[in-house]
Chain A
Amino acid sequence: MMERVPNEYGRFGDFGGKFVPETLMLPLEEIEAELDKALADESFKQEYIRILQHYSGRPTPLTFAPNLTRQVGGAKMYLKREDLNHTGAHKINNAIGQALLAKRMGKKKLIAETGAGQHGVAAATVAAHFGMDCIVFMGEEDIKRQELNVFRMKLLGAEVVPVSSGNRTLKDATNEAIRYWVAHCDDHFYMIGSVVGPHPYPKMVREFQRVIGDEAKEQFLAREGKLPDVIVACVGGGSNAIGMFYPFLQDDVRLVGVEAAGKGIDTPHHAATITKGTKGVIHGAMTYLLQDEYGQILEPYSISAGLDYPGVGPEHAYLASIGRVRYESATDDEAVAAFQLLAQTEGIIPAIESAHAVAKAVELAREMPPDETVLICLSGRGDKDVQTMMRHLGAREGEDIATVR
């Protein structure tokens, strides 16, 4: 039996905690107190579920992937369809939960950071829905890479602030969002986009994402009469993965998190934080991170902007340390191949982040007998990635995209 985490200090074993400037300690205590009250409040839970159903379209389906299964020739493969959420990814589950908490705390101004723009879009969306203001910090590099999502956020009425510090990507956008929060914590609510940051954020985001795993468990049992043998999810900060894994932690199910191996984990160009990182503090939490020997944080790389983060949620660091979840990685090329494979076998275009999970799941399923099952968390849809794919595939000279498979 595993210990209950996080404990009262926000620790998951050695990981987690609150490594933030003193100014933020009281705001964090206030959020923690309100979160605990909200989670114990039936009417809060009902409103959260009601909005998930009527606004985001939950429950999302569990889809059997017969063609993919046949092609791979191993275990039966299932997809949990977070791609069918409003705004196209699991990020909205968390955004709705945190917006409800902000409302409960009387805060009408939201701060968010974003990399690919998926969390920024989710934050801007719930801000519009709840009649709140929203300011989104985004690295200048990412703004260039994700033009469409920037425009989407603006259409939704959010203010997008370009971040020019550091390497101008998600890590720096998160720094800047936290700095802005330090200056405006009296009337703003910081809506973090993954299971990262200081306590109670990793716990809060897990609680607002576990709906993925809770639904999947029920759906899978109804469909197969047993639990899946293996569950696979991609890990950036780790919110879709924790959301999916958490309800299965006590069960006899193999859990596999897939990090981005970029151009390869033996090159400097990857975002495989647990696979290659070391213990330290990033964005207020003790966890694994990519850093040099002097503790300066390194810039990660992945084709997928949503996995391009040098840290990882502290609960994942903990689950890795106790061996409950296995963390592996998939390269850009493997993710791109899986992206095409799923599109062409099932007519489902996955987010490039989710394609990392598909790649690893295919590899595992191939080695498993046909009476076993693999469940993939399909965290988002790939409309946002079509341009990236065009660039990536176009770069392979002379290759005909239609016949890559």
Chain B
Amino acid sequence: MAYEEPITDYDEIVENCTCAFCGCNCDDLDYLVKDGHVVGVRHACRLGASKIMEDMDQRLIVPMVRDDNGELKEVDWDTALDKAAEYIANSIRPVMYGWSETSTECMKEGLALGEYIGAVLDNQATICHGPSLQAVQNAGYPIQTLGEVQNRADVCVYSGSNAMNSHPRHLARYSVFCRGFFRSRGRFDRTVVTMDPKFTDTAKMSDKWIGFEQNGDYGFYNAIRAVLKGKELSQDVISGIPKEDIYELVEEMKNAEFGVLFFGLGLTHTLSKQRNIDIAIKMVQDLNKFSKWGLTPMRGHFNVNGFNIFMAFETGFPFGVDFARGYARYVLGETNTIDLLTRGEPDVFLVIAADPGAHFPNKANQHLAKIPVIQIDIHWGPSTELADVVLPGSFIGVECGGTSYRMDGVLIFMKKAIDKPETCRDDEWIVRELKERVMKLRKEPNVAPEYIPNPAAQ
């Protein structure tokens, strides 16, 4: 890439802002602001910088509703909100999906609305780390914070995650290159192992690359566990890896002073899904007999973890929570967005701060083409092509403050740096307005019928 002049033409610097992109939530960014726009970002990676200096061509500025010809038409806020509220109030099986790129404050309003009308609330975990959450319920959650990793870890394992592409500053800020209290030489004090079928950019800068074969993760982790338990491996090659290499790796992992396993979608999206994570968690538990080990899922969006923590706190379940019966239910494969859509159940779909058009499989999106879709977002994306009502929100961490949870569960407040476009509204305000309007249209909340015990059975 050609050399580029640094940005010198700016009015002010806003310091210590938080990046609203990936689960690293880097909170050391400086924005260079000119005429109310961010024209440069210091310290962010390519991903963060490009999101913060957004594409104004495609910014959603005004509320829009589809007319009879199927064209989006600019309307005023009242019309758009009333239309959206009408869709929601008249629905039988509404789904409210997204939430991962908005603040926890907004989720609170969303939950109140969802509970009132008996909706399904789900977030992006359903298509990324859902299996990890299920595995956590099956096998436990030996987690540590990223601060501990920075100060203590001497072995970092990246499995099924290409951090250099998806979380570019993760290695620099939290795990590998950074210096820590017990790791004063940074990179030189740490061993990096990458497990991935592909020779990814992360693998290229690791000390060791384990290129197990496609869908071979489950067998590979089982082999490690067997060796950890003192068993001999009877096959010479397991999941494409010679057994000598597995012995060597296990020795290295046992001798770590503080090891961490970071795992990504490479594990959750392959055939054995949550079973892959089950076995990875159990491997970490086994390793703790010899040394100190922990793990962290590499969460994608900056607040995808926030929704899971928030929902688990409020309802007991992390995602895919169904209020249709008047109380919270969570049934895997039943109350999750993709399953609901492929079965053709929902009759209204509210998408907030997410992009199903870009991320759902064809068959799920086919159903979105048949039902009204309400979109609350900041950019014109593939979902806008399917949306019937579009409500322009504001950009958390840049135009509006809010709380979010980092991938390790640490709470971070993201502050406001510039003003939002005049015609946009805060996500929290939009959802609250929707709630109030829906409550006017549907007087009774959705509650479970009263439980009357059968006296004869007492």
Q: Do A and B come from one complex?
A: no
